[in-house]
Amino acid sequence: MSDISDVPQQAWWRTAVIYEVYVRSFADGDGDGVGDLAGLRERLPHLRDLGVDAIWLTPFFRSPMVDGGYDVSDYRDVDPSLGSLADFDAMLAAAHALDLRVIIDVVPNHTSSQHAWFTQALQELPGGPARARYHFHPATTDGEPPNDWESVFGGPAWTRTADGEWYLHLFDPAQPDLNWDNPDVRVEFEGVLRFWLDRGVDGFRIDVAHGMVKAAGYPAAGLTGQIGLLGRRVLPYFDQDGVHEIHKAWRKILDSYPGQRMAVAEAWASTPQRLARYTAPDELHQAFNFEFLQADWGDPAAVRASIDSCLHAAGSVGAPATWVLSNHDVRRHVTRLGSLERANAAALLMLALPGSAYLYQGDELGLPEVLDLPADARQDPVWFRSGGTDPGRDGCRVPLPWESEAPAYGFSATGASWLPQPPAWAALARDRSSTVDLYRAALALRRRLTGPLRWHESPDGVLDFARDGFRCIVNLSPEPVALPDGAEVALASRPIDGSTVPADATVWIFARTARSS
């Protein structure tokens, strides 16, 4: 293992703010109602002006779109609904010209059931080499699945084929899991990484980075409700130790390219220490801190504990902490936290923390979750697998409102939208400037924040910390709290009236006040 001192301390990814683009919902360039690479290219100046360092694109590869592109049928081509390889190259060149780095999603846990490998596997007899690339298994003597493993999307994680074998899918049946013990799989994905690195991408977000290796012998989990334990305990199909050998091999590939290429893990682990293993100096560069995302905002002590545990665990391996409040898989934090005021306070807190931060498209617009999508419009397999009892993730994926009066609020020139946009989008687009300005100001000031976090003593319900350059006070109590004497407020999530911090507000104070307190 490399020594921590070998990790470049000034690498761009250590402090970057990265903006997630859910490509199908960001901007529609050809008017068919589905966001695409051409539409993204047209809107890149917004992201440059916002002040982010990089963008992360959700999958744009060829796909039947059963799971919004996370069911990939060809990892080396662009889905026609989203553009072409030429469109990707043009978008990448335009982003780089604006000093925006580009990270793309790679989906190594599973393919689409329409991937050439899987269609070949279904055509051959049990025990054939194509089936060895996936997890095929004979039925038990009573015809039942091989074990009790559960799908993240609900129901069993096994589907029976016409010849009586079962195949594993930790997500939808249209997403069969790959067998990472098979050398063909490892060689193929090393080639996929190099294909996109050669085109100039700056890194990868590794989907289900914790799930690629399954426990030998397919042991039973021994309990129901397994997915509710995701991130709370090691399961026989998640966070197995063998995944780390894969990530070490990928780190060598990334390090062989110039320009500080990087990778961030979507990894659910039972402890911060297990999560930190994914960011050891010879593995990946970042791992999302879902503990912070899930922290109870009504319990300031829990928020502080999540911050401290992440900073400690990441620091133990020399990695940056990696913060996130929303993404394409969770309810938007405006809705989750109960108000735009509280969401903006959380955003300023996150952006004041040491490390790297991820924004989800629409955070800077103050978008809430769309809760009332009609049943016939929903497309998430979670909705279908649950029989309509789980609304799934469509509500955070509704196409963005760019303009209040334009067709589809500026998302598409024709007024088409693959998910219906609510009437409230018009007001959000019209009133967006204040929230956008807040994010823009925070991202500009954030570049002046340096050094470690140092906590100050504070009243109940208040988080108060300093870094070299600024002090951050977060008031999570229901009552205003006093600012330090002589405080010079640099930025506030809500207007400051007099010398107090309102409830559900975060303020940044210039350094000279932090040092004098």
Please identify every residue annotated as catalytic: 207, 266
Where do we find the tokens 């409230």? 424
How far apart are the C-alpha atoms of 214 and 298, rounded to whole Å? 37
Query: Sign of the CA dihedral 399, 403, 409, 415?
Result: negative
Where do we find the tokens 């081509």? 77
End-to-end CA distance of the chain: 43
For 197-236, strand residue ranges (E) read 203-206
Alpha helix locations (H) across 361-499? Answer: 381-385, 425-430, 433-446
- Asked whether the beta carbons of 348 and 435 are under 8 A apart, the reply is no
Backbone angles phi, psi at 290, to 5 degrees: -75, -20
Could you say which DSSP state residue 144 is in?
-
- Burial of residue 137 (CB within 10 Å: 0-12, 13-18, 19+) is middle
How far apart are the C-alpha atoms of 159 and 171, rounded to whole Å? 11
Report CA dihedral (308, 309, 312, 314) to the nearest 10 degrees: -120
For helices 433-446 and 37-50, what crossing angle results, to 10°?
A: 60
- 3-state helix vs strand vs coil in the chain, percent to 5: 35, 15, 50
How far apart are the C-alpha atoms of 365 and 281, rounded to whole Å? 36
- Which among 168, 117, 154 has a CA at the least distance from the CA of 386? 154
